Amino acid sequence: MSAELESMCSHIADVLADEDSKKTILDKFARAVTWYANKYQVARSPHKRRKIASPTCGTCDLPLFRPYVCLHCDYTGCWTESHVVDHLREESHLFCADAKTGCVYCSECENFIYDATLSGLHESTILSAEEKHSRFQVLNKRREPFQRWVPSEKDIAALEGAQSVPCQAGMRGLLNLGQTCFLSVVLQSFIHNPFMRNYFLGDKHNWKQCKTEHCTCCEMDKLFTEIYSDDNAPYGPHTFLATTWRASAELAGYAQQDAHEFFISALNQIHSTSRGSTEVSCNCIIHSTFAGQLQSDVKCERCGNVTTTNDPMLDISLELKGRGEVSDENSLAACLRRYTQSEKLGSKEYSCVKCGKASHEASKRLSIRKLPLVLSFQFKRFEHKALEKSATRKIETKIRFPATLNMAPYTTLYMSEAEKEKGGLPLSFAGPDSIYEYDLFAVINHEGQMNNGHYTNFARCGNEWYRFDDDKVTHTTLGACLKSTAYMCFYVKRHLDYKPNMTPSYVRAREKEMEKEKREVAKLKELDDAILATV
């Protein structure tokens, strides 16, 4: 890493260069951040009803909700009235930190500063606080402690030999091969999907070594090779298109296709050409990235019996409501609320197993039992009228969607907690907030009508947004992306899942077996000794 990235403030660099002052500053910083993280967790669990200590401002004496902590003495203060900044100036102290975000202010620079050491310490402190507070539903286990990746000598050698990827990599337009914008936008959403990118750039499916004919995985591998090559000119995915045509008869030909249909068909093809793919609990790149689980609870209104079924899902299709401008009814959150709302079933759709009779009244409610790593949403913009395929109408309603999405309210766990709390906000459901948070990384838009329309998309690279219109790629802003009329949007989980900290059952089984074996050997020996003694 270059010196510039380590720290942008020479004052903090000087202070951290001295071992003693470094220790004081870092200790103080870690204590402040830990305090806030613990406070936050306690505040979120109403059952504990523990009193939360609140420090007061050293200047105005008001209790602090979001304290700024001087890293040189015991002072805490508020930001808004610039009490903390005045304190630093008066006492000639250099730094204070926001206990909530871990942001550090330098009074010499008169600015917030970045420092790699502080930033790393903030991350690890928050993580260990979260680890302490998250319990699993199963056995009340704590989560497995995070272990940093330590590269082996082999890894280091490999890293040194590796070519670094140019910073603009991944921003290559795709040529339109005759009404193939539906293909371009979906491929761009794959290219900017971090899990698919890591899989294929990690050489997990090498097209030069694969023997499968018409292999979509090989096409993905070729695509990533092209996108991350030095060539910046737009790329024509001819072979991908040809393979798609061979694999799926409905998509063949030069007709305008539906991007969502192609998306689903591409997922299936990548899945089926992955090595070791299976029909149940598959762990191919597609299923480990997109697969979640939906729970459907059907309740008989007569006897209250609930039948629960779980179904796999790869994406979520959402109904639009109303027409015209953005309203509160047409936000992604509102669509998701409707999606997980209890709905009445028709009398013929359900018969209760418990009360035996064909029930008159039953309700069905969906919830998300397992969240996938990548969430893909489709807004149902194309209304198919009657039986005629040509009579499709497009709904142009704008949908408001956020850059960050918290999925907690739509999960099975949260919804059953909410039921217990009777309308109250369940804040005490399992795990820290951060494991429900998702970040937007791609959006697919459709302009025009069903048969003569055009697909474009937005995609995020780091914190920058780009717009893709076939071969044209332009830099844009988050604002422009969020104002667009979305047809599909893709979110990636901010923190990867973790397992409970427990010994796997097969290890325990083996240990038991070994113990049994030992006991048997001892018994045999005893027997042998006994026989020998009698001889």
Partner 1 sequence: MAPAADLDALYAQLRRRMIETGELDRIMFVLSSRLNEAGWIDELKDHSKENARNMESLVFQPLFDDTLAHAHKSITSQTEKEIKSVIRQYLELQFE
Among 45-53, 133-141, 172-180, 490-498, which window interacts with partner 1 (CB under 8 A)? 45-53
| One of 46, 234, 312, 500 touching partner 1 (CB under 8 A) | 46
- What's the chain's length in residues? 535
Q: Which of 116-124, 285-293, 368-376, 475-483 is the region at the interface with partner 1 (rule: CB under 8 A)?
A: 475-483
Question: Is residue 530 involved in binding partner 1 (CB under 8 A)?
Answer: no
Cβ at position 83, least distance to partner 1 in Å: 15
Residues 318-357 binding partner 1 (CB under 8 A) are 328, 331, 333-334
Q: How does strand 374-379 pair with strand 316-318? A: parallel
CB 446 within 8 Å of CB 259: yes
CA distance 190 to 194: 8
Quick check: 475 binds partner 1 (CB under 8 A)?
no
Bridge partners of residue 24, in order along the sequence? none
Nearest CA among 362, 320, 326 for reference residue 339: 320
Tokens of 105: 């202010």
42 counts as binding partner 1 under rule CB under 8 A: yes
Residue 79 burial class via C-beta count within 10 angstroms: exposed 0-12, middle 13-18, buried 19 and up: middle
Q: Is residue 105 a contact residue for partner 1 (CB under 8 A)?
A: yes
The verdict on whether 215 is a catalytic residue reads no
Least distance CB 49 / partner 1 (angstroms)? 8
Question: Active site residue: 9, 96, 181, 300, which one?
Answer: 181
Nearer to partner 1, 293 or 331 (CB): 331
Q: Given the complex with partner 1, which of 242 and 427 has the nearer CB atom? A: 427
In angstroms, rounded to a whole number, what is the distance separating the alpha carbons of residues 298 and 308?
6
Q: What is the largest CA-CA distance in the chain?
A: 100
> In whole angstroms, what is the distance from residue 317 CA to residue 376 CA?
9
| Residue 361 binds partner 1, judged by CB under 8 A | no
Which residue in the list 11, 454, 461, 495 is annotated as catalytic?
A: 454
Shortest distance, position 233 Cβ to partner 1, whole Å: 28
Considering the complex, what minimum distance in angstroms separates the CB of residue 63 from partner 1?
Answer: 4
Contact between 175 and 470 under an 8 Å Cβ cutoff? The reply is yes
Q: Which two tokens stand for residue 381?
A: 């913009």
Number of residues that bind partner 1 (CB under 8 A): 33
Rounded distance between C-alpha atoms, residue 219 and residue 270, angstroms: 9
Q: Which stretch binds partner 1 (CB under 8 A): 14-22, 62-70, 291-299, 510-518?
A: 62-70
Nearest to 481 by CA among 472, 492, 490: 490
Looking at 52, 138, 386, 530, which residue binds partner 1 (CB under 8 A)?
52
181 noted as active-site residue = yes
User: 141 or 400, CB closer to partner 1?
Assistant: 400
The HSE-up count of residue 394 (CA atoms within 13 Å, CB side) is 15
Could you say which of 10, 43, 275, 517 contacts partner 1 (CB under 8 A)? 43
Is residue 479 involved in binding partner 1 (CB under 8 A)? yes
Sign of the alpha-carbon dihedral angle for 274, 276, 281, 285: negative
Q: Does 61 bind partner 1 (CB under 8 A)?
A: yes
Give yes or no for residue 430 binding partner 1 (CB under 8 A): no
Residues in 152-211 that interact with partner 1 by CB under 8 A: none
Beta bridge partners of 292: 313
Q: Going residue by residue from 382 to 411, which x/- string records binding to partner 1, judged by CB under 8 A?
A: ------------------x-xxx-x-----
- The C-alpha atoms of residue 401 and residue 478 are separated, in whole angstroms, by 12
Other C-beta atoms closer than 10 Å to the C-beta of 480 total 12
Is position 62 an interface residue for partner 1 (rule: CB under 8 A)? yes
CB count within 10 Å of CB 12 equals 25
Which residues are part of the catalytic machinery?
Answer: 181, 454
Q: Which residues of this protein are in contact with partner 1, per CB under 8 A?
A: 40, 42-44, 46, 51-54, 61-65, 105, 110-112, 328, 331, 333-334, 400, 402-404, 406, 425, 427, 477-479, 482
